[in-house]
Structure 1
Amino acid sequence: MDFSSFNFEPALQEGLDAMGFEQPTPIQEKSIPVILQNKDLIACAQTGTGKTAAFILPVLNKICQSGSSSLNTLILAPTRELAIQIDQQIQGFAYFLGISSIPVYGGGDGVVWEQQKRALVTGAEIVVATPGRLIALLAGGKIDLKSLKHLILDEADRMMDMGFSDDILKIVNYLPKNRQTILFSATMPPKIRQFSMKILNQPEEISIAIGKTAEGVTQSFYSVYDTQKEDLVANILSQKSYEAVIIFSSTKEKVKNLYRALRKKFDVEAFHSDLDQVEREKIMSAFKNKSVKILIGTDIISRGIDVVGIELVINYDTPSDPEDYVHRVGRTARADKEGEAITFVNPKDQYKFTRIENLIGMEVNQLPLPEGMETGPTYSREPKKSKSGNKGSFKKKPFNKNPKSNFKKRSNDQASSQPQQSKPNQEPNPSGTAKKPGRFGPRKNVVDNGE
């Protein structure tokens, strides 16, 4: 099917034609009819599948049909970056409709606060907000939400992880009960289903490829020591003139350190929570415009960054949550493009990576380290066992219910008469321990020997 099958208003269809939208993605194909029928909806689909358009397009169509200019739709998003991105997409789709939207998020100065408050009071058909800033504005009064027809929660699982469930329930108390509520999420843990029962009314459910990565992504990994990572990432980046690369690290401190190491040779920027809002917007704009080629960040950029044409994603640290891997990898191969995802796996993270493989339903190809680099750790998909051979097996001493026997005090004579146990001699460090690797030559073309 194509977008004309939805019978959108001519002005909206004209906008889609101008933007080159022809065929809907699976999540759009299934979600749009449900939303047009005014039913509540729980939709689950991986990142990069067109979820934003799936809820924006039918809502814009209904606003266009109603002819109303009052506040119609509230979209809640977990981060300011995602709120800004959704607002930008609304502006693109609504170009021929005359429908206005405004992003409401924290991090700005007093001028931004007044602008957001004025827009909510005077009216915008669609508001895209982070929960914390919206609650602060609602607490000030003078904001009328009685005309609201749609409540949309985007990246609901992320909002739950960030502790926004209570804030969302507070916001819901300001809204009319007679509304359509739509919940989009990349994953569907039990807490999302439990939460949805509080705010949705007999919702339809749609699930698309949960936990699967896009088909256009070539996935691989290196088994490395932490001391090898910096040189390895530099080697990878030097093999090709990349136009858009995202490197994910586990902490903002590692992001800063890697940025300092790479900025001498590469066009790179660091993106982390210590930057103020103006700096973050400036960096993200430069990355989208390709004036910055490489972006280093934490999982703050694993969701809500819609940049078509990202060629390479590097997981500098293996993500602890397998679902975070899916979100990170989902930054590439968007809009039916192709991309590459490379993960660095150190010895202690091998079990994490096995869990990732279990989630995505495939074994990821291991690449040999570049020529000139010292050997990395041996990778094993088998769970580690204790020295006794039984993982985690031990016996507890029985607890005597008589407190006197459990906590009997020793006299000074008894304490002094008992000889102190000496510590056993420690075994010397094995000679095979890997040394800190040095510099190495260019990476050779990799051939999968397993094929």
Structure 2
Amino acid sequence: MRFDEFGFVPALEEGLESMMFEEATPIQEQTIPIIKEGKDMIACAQTGTGKTAAYMLPILDAIARNSRESILAIILVPTRELAMQIDQQIMGMSYYTGATSIAIYGGGDGMGYEQQKRAIREGVNIIVATPGRLISHLTSMKIDLSHLKHFVLDEADSMLDMGFQDDILRIVSYLPKKKQMLLFSATMPMKIRSFARKILQEPVEVNIAISKPSEGIDQRVYLAYDQQKMELLKNILKDPNYVSVIIFASQKTTVKLLAQELQKQGIDAEGFHSDLEQSKREDIMARFRSRQVRVLVGTDVISRGIDVVGISLVVNYDVPPDPEDYVHRIGRTARAATTGTAITFVNE
């Protein structure tokens, strides 16, 4: 289905045309008509399938058709990286509509927090936020949410895994009763369904490729004891076809050691973890996207929501504790109908 068949306002269609959006992905084709009808929805789709546009396009269409003088949509996400990424996507899609957005997340200095408060006071249509920072703003200042029409939970499974359930319920208590609620998740365990029943009203359910890795991923398992892993990793990275690589480790200490060792070998590698200042994390991610950094080493925080095109290899330096974490990790490659390789080191 082509995007010009959804009946979006001309300003939104113009933005899509400039971004060269032509054919809708399966998740977009199935969810956009439902969202335009104003129904609550649970949608399960792999990362990299276009789910951000799936919910943002009908929301932007609704905003463009109505008054744009108030907060009309809140997008709740698990990580600051995903908040920034979605906000950037909204800026591109909404360029000709006049809709405004802001990313609200922690990790910056006091000025960042005050700038966020000022932007909210001055007026914004869409807030993309992490749970903790949004609660901080809701409790420290009066925010008019009486005109809110849309509330989206993106990467809902990640937020529940990270312990945000009570925070989400608290945020919902601030919202008007009449609103549309959308829940998007890469996996659909029972805890997600149970949670959805608490906050959604008769939701329509859409399932696209539930809880399985992309078919374009070449999955491999290498048997290696801990003392053998580094040498094996170095040999793997000698392959010039692996131009953009993410290595996952479960512990921050391992991430730091791996990044340092790879740098000693002359490999353009950077560690990505919560001990880094926010400005440093943003700089590393920008350089990784632009291919100035070849290898990004990180914990599961970068398996949830980071969308970088063209990652050719994912390495699990250790086995993730949960099968869903494995799906998220290897889902960084072979995104949007491309192909990639995922290698997992197993020592027993």
Helix, strand or coil at the partner of 2:102? strand
Q: Deviations over 1:226-256 (max 9, x none)?
A: 1111001100111216331101111111111
Q: Which runs of 4+ in 1 moved over 2 A?
A: none
CA contact (8 A) 2:212 2:327 kept: yes
Q: Which residue of 1 aligns with 2:107?
A: 107
Q: Which residue of 1 aligns with 2:340?
A: 339
Deviation at 1:192, TM superposition (A): 1.4
Q: Which residue of 2 aligns with 1:444?
A: none
Q: Deviations over 1:19-65 (max 9, x none)?
A: 12121111111111100000000111121211111111110111111
Q: Which residue of 2 aligns with 1:237?
A: 237
CA contact (8 A) 2:68 2:99 kept: no
Q: Give, in whole Å, the separation in 2 of the partners of 1:290 and 1:56.
A: 28
Q: Give the alignment's Cα RMSD to 1 decimal.
A: 1.1
Give the letter for the 1:323 counterpart. Answer: E
Q: Deviations over 1:394-441 (max 9, x none)?
A: xxxxxxxxxxxxxxxxxxxxxxxxxxxxxxxxxxxxxxxxxxxxxxxx
Helix, strand or coil at the partner of 2:237? helix
Deviation at 1:146, TM superposition (A): 0.9
Equivalent residues in 2 for 1:110-189, closer than 5 Å: 110-189=110-189
Higher relative contact order (CA 8 A, sep 6+): 2
Q: Give, in whole Å, the separation in 1 of the partners of 2:210 and 2:120.
A: 36
Aligned pairs, number:
347
Q: Which residue of 1 aligns with 2:5?
A: 5
Give the letter for the 2:238 counterpart. Answer: S
Q: Give, in whole Å, the separation in 2 of the partners of 1:141 and 1:96.
A: 31
CA contact (8 A) 1:78 1:159 kept: yes
Q: Which residue of 2 aligns with 1:280?
A: 281
Helix, strand or coil at the partner of 1:238? coil
Q: Which residue of 1 aligns with 2:223?
A: 223
Structure 1 unaligned spans of 5+? 348-451
Helix, strand or coil at the partner of 1:342? strand
TM-score (norm 1): 0.75
Equivalent residues in 2 for 1:38-49, closer than 5 Å: 38-49=38-49
CA contact (8 A) 2:216 2:339 kept: yes
Give the letter for the 1:281 counterpart. Answer: E
Q: Which residue of 1 aligns with 2:52?
A: 52
Q: Give, in whole Å, the separation in 2 of the partners of 1:239 and 1:118.
A: 49
Deviation at 1:288, TM superposition (A): 1.0
Structure 2 unaligned spans of 5+? none
Is 1:77 the equivalent of 2:77?
yes
CA contact (8 A) 1:44 1:184 kept: yes
Q: Give, in whole Å, the separation in 2 of the partners of 1:335 and 1:200.
A: 29
CA contact (8 A) 2:75 2:151 kept: yes
Percent of aligned pairs with the same amino acid: 61
Give the letter for the 2:128 counterpart. Answer: V
Q: Give, in whole Å, the separation in 1 of the partners of 2:187 and 2:65.
A: 33
Q: Which residue of 2 aligns with 1:416?
A: none
Give the letter for the 2:171 counterpart. Answer: I
Equivalent residues in 2 for 1:226-265, closer than 5 Å: 226-240=226-240, 242-264=242-264, 265=266
Q: Give, in whole Å, the separation in 2 of the partners of 1:8 and 1:224.
A: 53
Greater per-residue helix proportion? 2
Q: Deviations over 1:130-186 (max 9, x none)?
A: 110111111112211111111000011111111111111111111100100001111
Q: Deviations over 1:43-90 (max 9, x none)?
A: 111212111111111101111111423110001001111111111110
